[in-house]
Homo-oligomer: A and B are copies of this chain.
Amino acid sequence: MKKEILQIALVQFANEGYEGASLGKIAEAVGIKKPSIYAHYAGKDELFLSALTYALERERSHLGCYFKQMKEEPLENLLRGYFNWFIQDLEGNDHMKFILRTMYFPPARLENEIGELINPLFDSMHRHFTRVMRERERRENILYSDDFSSCALAFITVIEGTITELVYSGEAAYLKRYEAVWPIFWRGLVRA
């Protein structure tokens, strides 16, 4: 039951925001009364931060899973495949929406705690891609630049530009952006 509350709250927070989501509506969606939530969570803040921690942890393991799965793939497949990785699991869409919404527009009062939760994920993402660039470069020797950190940051930038479109317009527009930006990005990344 505790987990059901969390998962439903996560969806509500993703679509309505911290202020817009209400414990009453969450409870109703779960099928219980509002005060019953307090048997599991100390209050709205704790529920929110628990949902965020859960979504981040799931995303982190998701990420590690992907890198493990693509360990032997060439760089091009690894980067390109990452675009499809998101739209694979459907409920991950709500998770990503929740994370993006919370990191871009956090409720002011929880800004510090949220930053301490979210920043590590994006740091680790950056480190992962930096390492991958360096390792693959040693194997494949194709990159134009040897500033792997910048290359990784550029990739993350492109990823975020397309993901926001996934949140905004849905999968079709997302794929259109991917098809537009990927060939250009890849051409710019590797040697002529």
Contacts and interface: CB of A to CB of B under 8 A. Distances in A.
Interface of A: 15-20, 100-101, 103-105, 107-108, 144-145, 150-151, 153-154, 156-162, 164-165, 167-168, 176-177, 179-181, 183-189, 192
A154 B180 contact: yes
A18 B19 CA distance: 9
**Could you tell me the dominant secondary structure of chain A's interface residues?**
helix
Query: So how many copies of this chain end up in the complex?
Result: 2
Contact of A188 (B19, B150, B179, B187): B187
Contact of A17 (B15, B19, B100, B185): B19
Nearest to A21: B19
A184 B154 contact: yes
B157 A179 contact: no
A108 B16 contact: yes
Contact of A161 (B159, B168, B179): B159
Contacts of A164: 104, 160-161, 164
Contacts of A176: 153
Contact of A150 (B15, B17, B161, B179): B179
A100 B179 CA distance: 23
Nearest to A186: B188
A179 B150 CA distance: 8
Nearest to A182: B154
The residue among A16, A184, A192 with the most chain B CB atoms within 10 A of its own CB is: A184
A22 to B, nearest CB: 10
Contacts of A186: 188
A62 B179 CA distance: 29
A32 to B, nearest CB: 23
B101 A104 contact: yes
A180 B189 CA distance: 11
Contact of A151 (B165, B168, B184): B184
